[in-house]
Chains A and B, each alone.
Chain A
Amino acid sequence: MTAPLLDVSNLTIRFPTGTPVADLGFAVGEGETVAVVGESGSGKSLTALAIMRLLPRTARTTSGGIRFQGRDLLALPEPEMRRVRGRKIAMIFQEPMTSLNPVLTIGKQIAEVLRLHEGLSSEAARKRSIQLLDLVRVADPHLRVDDFPHRLSGGMRQRAMIAMAVACGPKLLIADEPTTALDVTIQAQVLDLLDRLRRELGMALVLITHDLGIVGQWADRVVVMYAGRGAEEADATRLLDDPLHPYTRGLLAASPRLDARLHYTAGPLREIPGSIASALGEPGCPFVPRCPMALPTCRTKPPPLEEIRPGRLIACPPTLALERADAAAVGR
């Protein structure tokens, strides 16, 4: 197997007040879409910021390496890292309303990226900005290029953000909840756009989301995070058809599905009891307080992410034991 484009291993992020991400590992191959799924507070966004090395100053990334194209990003000096950001790895943020500079026109903001990384003249950069706006399907790009952000709708602003992010043809695009602030109809358009750009520009995409509905349609692989740890990693379709980790199973059971003909009149949706806050200070598996199949051994130490079959990893020893027993039974 060739080395993946991005390889995050044993990533731990510490703040003076706690450790929101611990021992997280996942890999992203060239041109692949990997979804990182988890509820609020599970450490998804921090992981993204850690890859970009944009964490707040009080945060420390201890033990763990983030290798991108074979180079350890955590060891790069800051000026080198600045050349990676925006050019090799780009990021788009959740809130398109506030992520654009309110006093500069869209065109100026896109042109600034091109002037910095590609050294274009202001005239060439402006031309390229218009092309980029066209690429992200902004109508009348030659007019929009001179608009200030407040004159654009949320979807348009997110498109402008995407244009800035892909301006230098990055190999990896990290989208941190790119559609959370948008209408459902616009969500699909923006995700379609990201997927098309991924194919056309040959980028890999890390899609951070809490929306499992997005995962099945747009992601190749899924990493499920719970309380800062990897819970399960699998191909998107496999994960949705056959979730293994009790948390993933709980999540999917809690999502309404069209084919299940589930309607709120037919009965309440299942829920996972408790909240993610119960993971605080848990010495073992963070999911234990809410887990239906927790064993006493789960409370002693955090479970490692183990491969159950190729491309399928879970961090749940009881499930692992069950699955292995099943596999042995079938094999006999």
Chain B
Amino acid sequence: MTTAIEIAPQPEVSGRALRAFLRNPAAMLASGFLVFVTAVAFAAPLIYPEDPLSMVARPFLWPGQNPQFPLGSDSLGRDVAAGLVWGSRISLIIGIAAMALGVSIGVVIGATAGYFGGRIDDGLVRLVEIFQTTPSFLMLIVLVAIAEPRVESITVGIALVTWPTIARLVRAEFRSLREKDFVTAARGLGYGHLRIIFIEILPNALPPIIVTSSVIVASAILMESALSFMGLGDPNRISWGSMIGANRETLRTTWYLTAVPGVAIVLTVLALNMIGDALNDALNPRLSAER
């Protein structure tokens, strides 16, 4: 009977978790902010049809000085507001694409290792360890430096340094889930390995994967910003990180040029982390039962 108590809360995930999430004001605020950023990113070509990298104003306009450029202009006379709006696209695209790619690799490798165990597991765990023992940001720099710094290569690079986290998580979940009675029952019904992995076990392992994914989006955005700050970003696309990097020399005189994109990064990453936190509370039946 103890097993029944342990299992029972899980299936209620969908309905109850959603309600718990919706009742969390921080989560709602964070989601609202992200919806706003996403909308801005989508609408960028409508708001600022011109290339954000082109020189349109007198250099070093302070915010509010010229109503046409509400957030001022940088040392080359580029519109900061346009850069902010267009930069959100790169941040979100890289954040989400890198997460999707990293999670896919991590789930496949983690599930294979955890489900089959034995030598396959040993081999894959070594592979994960190789990736985890190298400092991830250094590896990312090397990867991007070898390839041309473009959105695609940065995305792949970030995915390559984030998948081990997901793989370890998924492997641990699969290791415990594969011993459950329903997996034996599924094998007794003649299900093949793929069917058991993706239809029977994976849905049971989803909550922690979802939570970690939201945090990975946040860290991917940070990594992209850091790369751009160091000048390893895509030179043809403006991003929040490259805006900070390009204006760091004038930090003491025109601090707003780094502060504005910096605040954008902080708020977006904070929002994603808050959502991750709220999802963790909502999807963990033991935690939310206590509240």
Residues on A lying within 8 angstroms of B by beta carbon are 52, 54, 57, 82-87, 90-91, 93, 95, 97-104, 112-113, 116-117, 148-150, 161, 164-165
A149-B11 contact in complex given A98-B182, A101-B200, A101-B204, C-beta closer than 8 Å: yes
Could you jot down 20 A-B contacts, CB within 8 Å? A52-B188, A54-B188, A83-B190, A86-B189, A86-B191, A91-B185, A93-B184, A95-B3, A97-B4, A98-B3, A98-B4, A98-B7, A98-B182, A103-B204, A112-B191, A116-B190, A117-B190, A150-B8, A150-B12, A165-B189
Q: Nearest chain-A residue to B15 (Cβ)? A: A148
Which A residues lie within 8 Å of B13 (CB)? 103
Besides the known contacts A54-B188, A150-B10, 17 further A-B residue pairs in the complex with CB atoms under 8 A apart: A82-B190, A85-B189, A86-B189, A86-B190, A90-B188, A90-B189, A98-B7, A98-B181, A98-B182, A100-B182, A100-B185, A101-B182, A101-B203, A101-B204, A103-B11, A104-B200, A116-B195
Residues 1-24 of B contacting A (Cβ, < 8 Å): 1, 3-4, 7-8, 10-13
Q: How far is the CA of A178 from the CA of B1 in the complex (A)?
A: 16
Q: Shortest distance in angstroms between A263's beta carbon and chain B's nearest beta carbon?
A: 31
Q: Nearest chain-B residue to A112 (Cβ)? A: B199
Q: Shortest distance in angstroms between B262's beta carbon and chain A's nearest beta carbon?
A: 41
B67 at the interface (CB under 8 A from A): no
A86-B188 contact in complex given A98-B180, A102-B11, A112-B199, C-beta closer than 8 Å: yes
B186 at the interface (CB under 8 A from A): yes
Q: How far is the CA of A83 from the CA of B182 in the complex (A)?
A: 19
Which B residues lie within 8 Å of A86 (CB)? 188-191
Q: Shortest distance in angstroms between B54's beta carbon and chain A's nearest beta carbon?
A: 52
CB of B204 within 8 A of CB of A54, answer no
A148-B11 contact in complex given A101-B186, A102-B204, C-beta closer than 8 Å: yes
CB of B191 within 8 A of CB of A102, answer no
The proximity string for B residues 161-205 relative to A, scoring 1 for CB distances below 8 Å and 0 otherwise, is 000000000000000000011101111111110010001100110
CB of B182 within 8 A of CB of A102, answer yes
Size category, B interface: 20 to 34
Q: Nearest chain-A residue to B191 (Cβ)? A: A116
Residues on B lying within 8 angstroms of A by beta carbon are 1, 3-4, 7-8, 10-13, 118, 180-182, 184-192, 195, 199-200, 203-204
Which A residues lie within 8 Å of B188 (CB)? 52, 54, 85-86, 90-91, 93
Q: How far is the CA of A98 from the CA of B13 in the complex (A)?
A: 17
Q: Main SS of chain B's interface residues?
A: helix
A82-B192 contact in complex given A98-B4, A98-B180, C-beta closer than 8 Å: yes
Q: Nearest chain-B residue to A94 (Cβ)? A: B181
Q: Nearest chain-B residue to A148 (Cβ)? A: B11
Q: Shortest distance in angstroms between B98's beta carbon and chain A's nearest beta carbon?
A: 28
Q: How far is the CA of A104 from the CA of B184 in the complex (A)?
A: 16
CB of A93 within 8 A of CB of B185, answer yes
Contact with A93, one of B1, B10, B181 (Cβ below 8 angstroms): B181
Would you list the 4 A-B pairs with minimal beta carbon distance, nearest first?
A: A86-B190, A85-B190, A86-B189, A98-B181
Which B residues lie within 8 Å of A148 (CB)? 11-12
Which A residues lie within 8 Å of B10 (CB)? 102-103, 150
Which A residues lie within 8 Å of B4 (CB)? 97-98
Which B residues lie within 8 Å of A91 (CB)? 185, 188
Q: Shortest distance in angstroms between B115's beta carbon and chain A's nearest beta carbon?
A: 13
Q: Nearest chain-A residue to B7 (Cβ)? A: A102
Which A residues lie within 8 Å of B180 (CB)? 98
Contact with A164, one of B11, B189, B203 (Cβ below 8 angstroms): B189
CB of A87 within 8 A of CB of B190, answer yes
CB of A150 within 8 A of CB of B189, answer no
Which B residues lie within 8 Å of A93 (CB)? 181, 184-185, 188
Find the residue from A93, A99, A117 having the highest chain B CB count within 10 A. Answer: A99
CB of B181 within 8 A of CB of A95, answer yes
Q: How far is the CA of A116 from the CA of B199 in the complex (A)?
A: 12
Which A residues lie within 8 Å of B192 (CB)? 82
Q: Shortest distance in angstroms between A82's beta carbon and chain B's nearest beta carbon?
A: 5
Q: How far is the CA of A319 from the CA of B130 in the complex (A)?
A: 67
Q: Shortest distance in angstroms between A7's beta carbon and chain B's nearest beta carbon?
A: 20
CB of A150 within 8 A of CB of B7, answer yes
Q: How far is the CA of A116 from the CA of B200 in the complex (A)?
A: 13
Which A residues lie within 8 Å of B185 (CB)? 91, 93, 99-100, 161, 164
Which A residues lie within 8 Å of B190 (CB)? 82-87, 116-117
Which A residues lie within 8 Å of B8 (CB)? 102, 150
Q: How far is the CA of A84 from the CA of B12 in the complex (A)?
A: 34
Find the residue from B12, B182, B192 having the highest chain A CB count within 10 A. Answer: B182
Q: Shortest distance in angstroms between A200's beta carbon and chain B's nearest beta carbon?
A: 21
Q: How far is the CA of A148 from the CA of B203 in the complex (A)?
A: 13
Which B residues lie within 8 Å of A161 (CB)? 185
Q: Shortest distance in angstroms between B205's beta carbon and chain A's nearest beta carbon?
A: 10
Q: Shortest distance in angstroms between A85's beta carbon and chain B's nearest beta carbon?
A: 4
CB of B189 within 8 A of CB of A99, answer no
Which B residues lie within 8 Å of A117 (CB)? 190
Q: Shortest distance in angstroms between A146's beta carbon and chain B's nearest beta carbon?
A: 12
Q: How far is the CA of A57 from the CA of B178 in the complex (A)?
A: 13
Which A residues lie within 8 Å of B195 (CB)? 112, 116
Q: How far is the CA of A128 from the CA of B188 in the complex (A)?
A: 20
Q: Shortest distance in angstroms between B110's beta carbon and chain A's nearest beta carbon?
A: 18
CB of B187 within 8 A of CB of A99, answer no
Which A residues lie within 8 Å of B189 (CB)? 85-86, 90, 113, 116, 164-165
Q: Shortest distance in angstroms between A56's beta carbon and chain B's nearest beta carbon?
A: 10
Q: Nearest chain-B residue to A113 (Cβ)? A: B189
Q: How far is the CA of A212 from the CA of B203 in the complex (A)?
A: 40
Q: How far is the CA of A171 from the CA of B118 in the complex (A)?
A: 35
Which B residues lie within 8 Å of A90 (CB)? 188-189
